[in-house]
Amino acid sequence: MAHKAWIITAEYNDYDQHGSYFVAWFREKPTFQDIKKLLPYETDATIGKLTRGGGRQGSEYKHYNLIHPVETTDCQRDGE
């Protein structure tokens, strides 16, 4: 059985030489408050941008991406 998940990734470096790093996944689209709990030291502007999909704007060294629902494999957590 497939599930849908929203994925947050982070990218560092001026030229994205390091690639994308997995940060978190959510079953439903995360709200501003969900992301703020996950990334408490990021500015409200960064969190707001991430709720709209994220991405680099200008010459940011670090930026985040919110990847729209992707299908995941049938993985179960303990108790499910």
**pLDDT, tens digit, for every residue of 60-73?**
778 899 998 777 66
Question: First CA to last CA across the chain, in angstroms?
Answer: 13
What pLDDT is attached to residue 4? 81
Residue type present at position 39? L
Retrieve residue 44's tokens. Answer: 């409200």
What pLDDT is attached to residue 15? 67
Task: Quote the DSSP letter at residue 28.
Answer: S
Q: What is the pLDDT of residues 13-51, one digit of tens each?
A: 766 677 789 999 998 999 999 999 999 999 999 999 999
What pLDDT is attached to residue 8? 94
